[in-house]
């Protein structure tokens, strides 16, 4: 009834008819565009490599992650974190590269091992440590600190890196994606990345912070990590722990992106220990990328 009254009112003269036409055009443009993107995602996901892979080989980790880039093993810090862990501990695995496939929880990376699907990089590492009986040689006190550092890297540091990689440099990110894939796929990928990043940062009011405050917080995290590492090869000694794999993923995902970002200059000028950790550890685990390090 209300809709009928409003429509009849708008049709009474030319300007109101024009207003109604603009409203209809806007709604079609908005919702038809969303429909096209949704159908496009569904269609491309059915053509995705991941939809053809059957994870059936016993005791093999099937790692579902984004595609490689030309200069890094993966654009996602969490994918790098998991694959680096698998390589370091020499766990047999098979990559399943995908752009749209997700776990039941909507996450990437995820793994399938002997029929068990495990989402979230931290849960993946914990489960693999249980299965392969991997226990870091740390005291209870060191384990507590390592846990706090790991959460700092994958939350506080990660939030700043996501901001500079996606929000601050959104035009550059889309340009890079467009150079790597067809326009429609680049558009779908960019929209998905931007949407998830914006949601993640908005949920904690991170985007309300002024950029100088974000930069200052990023430097505070890097200062703390460099002080903790000191002259050791890894954060807690001679062997890497979860926090080292997390740090490797976060630094790799931003340092080698082909557009301007502050962390590159920070590592080059102020944090030589962290830069050495990045290039050394990455080169050891992913020797096929040594050309870029």
CATH number at 106 reads 3.40.30.10
Report CA dihedral (39, 165, 200, 61) to the nearest 10 degrees. Answer: 70
pLDDT for 178: 84
Q: How would you list the strands of the sheet with 116-119, edge to edge? A: 93-97, 61-65, 110-113, 116-119
Q: Cβ contacts of residue 278 below 8 Å, gap of 6+?
A: 248, 251, 252, 255, 267
Place of tokens 């301007």: 260
pLDDT for 102: 77
pLDDT for 14: 44
Q: Write the burial class of residue 3 (CB in 10 Å: 0-12 exposed, 13-18 middle, 19+ buried).
A: exposed
**Lowest model confidence (mean pLDDT) among 9-13, 158-162, 222-226, 284-288:** 9-13
Last residue within a domain, chosen from 132, 158, 175: 132
Kindly state whether residues 177 and 229 are assigned to the same domain: yes
Spatial separation of the C-alpha atoms in residues 128 and 203, rounded to whole Å: 30
Place of tokens 């703390």: 224
Q: Are 191 and 37 in contact (CB under 8 A)?
A: yes
Residue 1 pLDDT > 80, yes or no? Answer: no
Residue 32 belongs to some domain of the structure: no
Residue 149 belongs to some domain of the structure: yes
Which 8-state DSSP code applies to residue 61? E
Last residue within a domain, chosen from 85, 102, 132: 132
pLDDT for 175: 87
Q: How many domains does the chain have?
A: 2
Which residues, listed in sequence order, are joined to residue 64 by a DSSP beta bridge?
A: 96, 110
What pLDDT band is residue 64 in, cutting at 50, 70 and 90?
very high
Residue 11 belongs to some domain of the structure: no
Residue 120 pLDDT > 80, yes or no? Answer: yes
Residue 212 belongs to some domain of the structure: yes
Spatial separation of the C-alpha atoms in residues 278 and 88, rounded to whole Å: 15
pLDDT for 101: 78
Place of tokens 């290039």: 279
What pLDDT band is residue 24 in, cutting at 50, 70 and 90?
low
**Domain of residue 159, residue span:** 140-292
- Alpha carbon of residue 283 to chain centroid: 21
Kindly state whether residues 93 and 220 are assigned to the same domain: no
Is residue 209 helix, strand or coil?
coil
Residue 238 belongs to some domain of the structure: yes
Residue 22 pLDDT > 70, yes or no? Answer: no
Kindly state whether residues 122 and 188 are assigned to the same domain: no
- Residue 133 φ/ψ region, left for φ over 0, alpha for ψ in the -120 to 50 degree band, beta for the rest: left
Q: Are 239 and 137 in contact (CB under 8 A)?
A: yes
Residue 164 pLDDT > 60, yes or no? Answer: yes
Kindly state whether residues 157 and 239 are assigned to the same domain: yes
Kindly state whether residues 152 and 285 are assigned to the same domain: yes
Residue 82 pLDDT > 60, yes or no? Answer: yes
Kindly state whether residues 168 and 148 are assigned to the same domain: yes
- Averaged pLDDT of the chain: 83
Kindly state whether residues 224 and 147 are assigned to the same domain: yes
What pLDDT band is residue 239 in, cutting at 50, 70 and 90?
very high
Last residue within a domain, chosen from 112, 132, 152: 132
pLDDT by residue (tens digit) across 247-278? 999 999 899 888 777 888 899 999 999 999 99
pLDDT for 256: 87
Give the residue-averaged pLDDT of 129-138: 93
Kindly state whether residues 183 and 287 are assigned to the same domain: yes
CATH code of residue 164: 1.20.1050.10
């Amino acid at each position: 009834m209300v809709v009928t009254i409003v429509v009849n009112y708008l049709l009474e003269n030319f300007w109101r008819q024009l207003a109604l036409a603009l409203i209809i055009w806007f709604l079609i443009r908005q919702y038809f565009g969303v429909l096209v993107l949704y159908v496009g995602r569904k269609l491309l996901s059915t053509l995705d490599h991941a939809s053809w892979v059957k994870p059936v080989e016993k005791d093999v980790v099937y790692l579902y992650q984004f595609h490689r880039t030309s200069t890094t093993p993966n654009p996602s810090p969490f994918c790098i974190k998991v694959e680096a862990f698998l390589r370091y501990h020499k766990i047999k695995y098979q990559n399943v590269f995908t752009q749209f496939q997700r776990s039941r929880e909507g996450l990437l990376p995820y793994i399938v091992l002997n029929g068990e699907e495990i989402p979230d990089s931290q849960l993946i590492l914990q489960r693999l440590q249980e299965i392969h009986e991997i226990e870091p040689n740390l005291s209870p006190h060191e384990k507590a600190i390592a846990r706090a550092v790991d959460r700092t890297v994958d939350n506080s540091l990660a939030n700043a890196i996501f901001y500079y990689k996606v929000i601050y440099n959104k035009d550059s990110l889309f340009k890079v994606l467009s150079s790597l894939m067809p326009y429609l796929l680049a558009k779908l990928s960019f929209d998905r990345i931007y949407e998830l990043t914006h949601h993640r940062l908005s949920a904690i009011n991170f985007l309300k912070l002024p950029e100088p405050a974000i930069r200052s917080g990023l430097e505070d995290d890097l200062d703390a990590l460099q002080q903790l590492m000191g002259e050791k090869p890894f954060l807690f000694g001679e062997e890497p722990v979860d926090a080292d794999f997390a740090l490797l993923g976060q630094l790799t995902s931003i340092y080698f992106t082909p557009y301007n970002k502050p962390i590159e200059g920070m590592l080059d000028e102020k944090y030589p220990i962290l830069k050495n950790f990045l290039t050394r550890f990455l080169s050891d685990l992913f020797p096929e990328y040594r050309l870029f390090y």
